[in-house]
Chains A and B, each alone.
Chain A
Amino acid sequence: MATVALENLKKSFGQNEVIHGVSVDIEEGEFIVIVGPSGCGKSTLLRMVAGLETVTSGIVRISGRSVNDDEPMDRDIAMVFQNYALYPHMSVFDNMAYGLKIAKVPHIEINERVSNTARLLQLEEFLKRKPRELSGGQRQRVAMGRAIVRKPSVFLFDEPLSNLDAKLRVQMRLEIKALQRDLGVTSLYVTHDQVEAMTLADRMVVMNNGFADQIGKPLDVYANPQTVFVAGFIGSPPTNFLDASQFAAGPAGGTIGIRPEHIRLSAKGRLEAWVTSTEPLGADTLVHLRVAGGSLVTVRQDASAAIPPEGTSFCLDWNESDTLFFNAEGKRIDAASG
């Protein structure tokens, strides 16, 4: 159990600064998800915490102690890699025991810890197998087991589920969440999948081009995105953006955003639009429309509502309180921010 603090972390590769000062305070036992598109620096940030990348400036603290100059093994962390990084020639048991063997943990204790972890992850019957004889989900479990068995104070996950198929991903996501809650170990989890971020995180850090755009509880981030980027990245389908100049209340040169579920199709409203296509998903239907200015808008309507045929014209309406105002720099400016 430990706290982790990132203090104005920066990272440059040569002249090229990729992380421009990220500060996060992570509490004991908290599950933090770092989410962002590829190339936003989220993995680099995690690797700096792990000690696999050097820190250009700023401080990484684990339990209050600066670990900037510590080797990964001295930071009391364990990491789960995207491609699992299991040692191919070692059995599952040896893979999990390797770190303990290096740490010169007595044999009896190694056996006990590995078998306890294997029981926890339902890997007992696979202990003698080699990684190639396991399925993707089982390999994922071994990678988790290798991290758990060391009893670290911080878990680091680098996109651990992205090599699994969709169904398994949902299942493993729930398992990771339950495991983390049971073990109570402070965790940092990197993903590009905003659903994973929403479901796993106690708090999430939304990264964009080397900046932490917003840090907060998933539902707060969803309801109150602080930037255009966050509003567009979190939520599927993404927030609709419209040029603010067509609305009296809108800021000059800015944009307004409305979530697809907040727009109503009605006979009269704020904006006229034509249906271009529809996607019935069962529980709800996505209606894509083109507004007079040319921009596209997606509306999520309940499955009980009739699916409008293509070409139908509607008026779009929404509540003033559901409108998100952004200035020309993409920052949130309406009263709800903060």
Chain B
Amino acid sequence: MNNGSGMVERRGSGLWLTHLGLVVGILFIFFPIWLAFVASTVAHREIVQPPMPLLPCNEFFDNYSLALTSGINAPVARMLFNSGVMAIGIAVGKILISLLSAFAIVYFRFPGRKLFFWLIFLTLMLPVEVRIVPTFEVAANLKMLNSYSGLILPLVASATATFLFRQFFLTVPDELAEAARVDGAKPMRFFVDILLPMSRTNIAALFVILFIYGWNQYLWPLLITTDPDMNTIVMGLKQMFPSGDEIANWPVIMATSILAMVPPVIVVIGMQKLFIRGLIESEK
């Protein structure tokens, strides 16, 4: 009995130690974000006067409403909206296109099937930056500068997602497709009724990754948009930084940074639930 309770105690203290380690780690990572948040709630003069305060002050509403409505170059609300459209457009577009192309590659025998697969696969090795000049040329010729289609369409093809869905579709037993055929489902019906619902875990995971990928795009929006009204939040943030002798309004910049972080965090947390539910449910 002594031995038993000793074991429990040791386990208990081990548990506490583990948690202590985790808490310290979280504090360490969270500290800069906390500082940014504090900086977004103070008046400008308090920031330039050391020491920097460690607790939020009372300028929160002033700074955030200033950022959202007017910002420095363009209102942050507008930039958040632009980023949102772009990130959702890229994520949804990439998922749709790669689902369809993976479906074609796995379930249909057409001439050049292998060739197309390898062509898609090869583009994996070309990041956006490598093909950015020709892509810009094409986008400019199609009059897509300063438009949402210009922000979204060139980034919408995804070899990675196609490959991922291809691998997933290959694990779906052939009998399922055959059973659907015997049940009278035409190919697109099978795709919508059976493959799509079966892929929802993968779709959720990809949506998180691709949303953040779209949200964090910097170089491409920088090239394709010149109108401040079309700026995305990530490039807008960079443009707020002072150049030369300008005086930066740091509290507003910090408020903008915090605002820029919120949508990806919401997506990650929101999708996490779906993600875990999907993982439990899709146990085959």
Write the residues of chain A forming the contact surface with B, with a CB cutoff of 8 angstroms.
Answer: 50-52, 71-73, 77-79, 81-83, 85-89, 98-99, 102-103, 132, 146, 150
Contact B179 A89 (CB under 8 A): no
Query: Can you list 11 A-B pairs with a CB-CB distance of less than 8 A?
Result: A72-B181, A72-B184, A79-B178, A81-B179, A85-B173, A87-B179, A87-B180, A88-B284, A98-B183, A99-B182, A99-B184
- Tell me the chain B residues, 193-222 only, with Cβ under 8 Å from chain A: 193-194, 197-198
- Tell me the chain B residues, 130-181 only, with Cβ under 8 Å from chain A: 173, 175-176, 178-181
With A81-B175, A87-B176, A132-B284 as contacts: A52 and B181 at CB distance below 8 Å = yes
Query: Of A77, A78, A85, A146, which is within 8 A of B178 by CB?
Result: A85
Query: Of B183, B193, B194, B282, which is within 8 A of A73 by CB?
Result: B183
A77 to chain B, nearest CB (A): 7
Contact A73 B284 (CB under 8 A): no
Query: Of B178, B198, B281, B284, which is within 8 A of A81 by CB?
Result: B178
Point out the residues of chain A lying under 8 angstroms from B198, CB to CB: 88-89
Point out the residues of chain B lying under 8 angstroms from A71, CB to CB: 181, 184
Is B227 an interface residue when CB atoms closer than 8 A count as contact? Answer: no
A133 to chain B, nearest CB (A): 11
Is B189 an interface residue when CB atoms closer than 8 A count as contact? Answer: yes
Knowing that A85-B179, A103-B184 touch, tell me 12 more A-B residue pairs with CB under 8 angstroms. A50-B178, A52-B181, A71-B181, A72-B182, A81-B175, A81-B178, A81-B179, A85-B178, A87-B179, A99-B183, A132-B284, A146-B179
Point out the residues of chain B lying under 8 angstroms from A82, CB to CB: 175
Residue of A nearest to B175 (CB): A85
**Chain B residues with a Cβ closer than 8 Å to the other chain, count:** 20
Is B245 an interface residue when CB atoms closer than 8 A count as contact? Answer: no
Is B129 an interface residue when CB atoms closer than 8 A count as contact? Answer: no
Secondary structure of the A side of the interface? loop
A185 to chain B, nearest CB (A): 15
What total count of A-B pairs have CB within 8 Å? 62
Query: Of A50, A83, A86, A132, which is within 8 A of B182 by CB?
Result: A50
With A102-B189, A132-B283 as contacts: A78 and B182 at CB distance below 8 Å = yes
Cα A190 to Cα B251 with chains together (Å): 76
Point out the residues of chain B lying under 8 angstroms from A50, CB to CB: 178, 182
Query: Of A52, A85, A89, A102, which is within 8 A of B184 by CB?
Result: A102
With A88-B284, A132-B284 as contacts: A73 and B184 at CB distance below 8 Å = yes
Cα A35 to Cα B173 with chains together (Å): 24
Which 10 A-B pairs give the minimum distances between C-beta atoms?
A73-B184, A99-B183, A85-B175, A85-B179, A89-B197, A102-B184, A81-B175, A72-B182, A79-B182, A72-B181
Cα A89 to Cα B180 with chains together (Å): 14
Cα A235 to Cα B189 with chains together (Å): 46
With A85-B175, A87-B176 as contacts: A77 and B182 at CB distance below 8 Å = yes
Point out the residues of chain A lying under 8 angstroms from B185, CB to CB: 98, 102
**Residue from B183, B193, B283 having most chain A Cβ neighbours under 10 A:** B183
Point out the residues of chain A lying under 8 angstroms from B189, CB to CB: 102
With A50-B182, A71-B181, A102-B183 as contacts: A85 and B176 at CB distance below 8 Å = yes
**Residue from B173, B178, B185, B281 having most chain A Cβ neighbours under 10 A:** B178
A326 to chain B, nearest CB (A): 39
A88 to chain B, nearest CB (A): 6
Point out the residues of chain B lying under 8 angstroms from A52, CB to CB: 178, 181-182
Residue of A nearest to B185 (CB): A102
Point out the residues of chain B lying under 8 angstroms from A132, CB to CB: 283-284
B183 to chain A, nearest CB (A): 4
Residue of A nearest to B198 (CB): A89
B95 to chain A, nearest CB (A): 18
Interface string of B60-78 (1 = CB under 8 A from A): 0000000000000000000
B109 to chain A, nearest CB (A): 12
Cα A78 to Cα B194 with chains together (Å): 19
With A83-B173, A85-B176, A89-B198 as contacts: A98 and B193 at CB distance below 8 Å = yes
Cα A79 to Cα B182 with chains together (Å): 7
Point out the residues of chain B lying under 8 angstroms from A51, CB to CB: 181
Point out the residues of chain A lying under 8 angstroms from B284, CB to CB: 88, 132
Contact B181 A73 (CB under 8 A): yes
Point out the residues of chain B lying under 8 angstroms from A146, CB to CB: 179, 183
Cα A223 to Cα B8 with chains together (Å): 71
Point out the residues of chain A lying under 8 angstroms from B181, CB to CB: 51-52, 71-73
Residue of B nearest to A158 (CB): B175
Cα A146 to Cα B181 with chains together (Å): 13
Residue of A nearest to B200 (CB): A89
Contact A87 B194 (CB under 8 A): yes
Cα A89 to Cα B278 with chains together (Å): 11
- Tell me the chain B residues, 249-284 only, with Cβ under 8 Å from chain A: 281-284
Point out the residues of chain A lying under 8 angstroms from B173, CB to CB: 83, 85
Contact A79 B283 (CB under 8 A): no
Point out the residues of chain B lying under 8 angstroms from A77, CB to CB: 182
Residue of B nearest to A147 (CB): B182
Point out the residues of chain A lying under 8 angstroms from B182, CB to CB: 50, 52, 72-73, 77-79, 99
Cα A86 to Cα B182 with chains together (Å): 12
